[in-house]
Structure 1
């Protein structure tokens, strides 16, 4: 028995050593790309900050929002979904939200899962740096360690060979603002072409109550702003989301829309899940304006 325990201990030490070496090799692949790029305008007014992923590139009319809420700067803060929740929240901190600002988290359903808190294995992640990763380990040790222990050398090689598409980071670390996403110049997008391809189904069947509670507590403690949540657009009959998770979110998080009101028919979709076309963008923005006026009262 003693020999068996010693061998188990040795194996554990070797495994941790291997994972540490793998993590160290991964660090040079971290990129701050998009960490300081935002949508909307910044004219030193109080801010309404929308937080999400690529859904904020396709589904929001920022000029209309800024025209409607003229006493606020409406800003879009996003990273792609493969970058995970913690990197997205870290980017939000670059805006230094105050207690007079409003934050609306329009997160994809996947970002309510611990697997996507700190996706170290993702070869599409951006907005990463070592300091941010270490803070994730400090604030969310269990899901961060789970991500750490799934790493292997092949992941590092895969990530390293797919970094050619990345643009250089903003070396001055100055926030930049684009009035509208470039994505909205696509002909098919603007013409509201109907996409009938099978590319819109989302499956999020987990319910991690402890993780959701921790996320809610962390966001409330890190940001001294008014915090609200909003369900992202999903396609009708193209989703499988855990009903107990939705029930918990409705009860414990302050949403400005209902899950039912986040469902859009097929004529509003562009090229993948969470991506509406221009007609969908207009309808979604119209809904958002009404929600902000009625639920937030501005």
Structure 2
């Protein structure tokens, strides 16, 4: 119990400087992507050409001429209050827009996580149980092929197959659960293949350990040994990978959301990049960075619970 508590405290303490670093990264990326937001905002109406005086007045109003440290301090003061600023394009609160679009991204992420976890667990166990068989060889070849396909290619293939040819799923939107099936498959197939390979490799590695050899000497079946003894220790690499993948999915899959017209935070960030809306970019990077770090923290704690040796080494 004491070791678990010390390990948790250590992980929490290491998380603090990482989160602070993310604030510097988010603010810095906003500066890099800035361009001239005052000009972009003043030129939002295509029928109106702003004067230089109007653009300069807008720059002063937005504080763009202030020193960088002053801008960072003002931005951080707003972050502490839960204010990520207002979009330079439509004046809408960035945090409000992220929270409005988060349910769609969260639903897509959870569905993809379920597919990755279930397919990875089932596939990894199956290939480990039938090691070096024809099924194992065929499965590994298919895994390599599927992992080699880029996500956007998989997305267009699913649209062609399930929407244009079979006419069973909608191609875009977020009106129903069916609208999320193809985006979910597009972002989860490649990751599921990675989990299958990781789990298979980990399970086969555990099968050479002394405690597994002892279980074999007792006459237990191979399936019993894998499920009762080897699986828990073999899950650690897969859990870490799935958690990192889920953290990335929470940040929004820009390409997938764009291809399937899913109104999520990934498509929101893509629009912000296209419009050079650096306030929205800063808010997006900060929001998703925090989500990713906290997800990885939970994954580390889960791995330590699954494998006590991690706590002892920590």
- TM-score, with length taken from structure 2: 0.22
Higher relative CO (Cα under 8 Å, sequence separation at least 6) belongs to 2
Task: Give the structure with higher Rg (CA).
Answer: 2
- TM-score, with length taken from structure 1: 0.23
More strand by share: 1
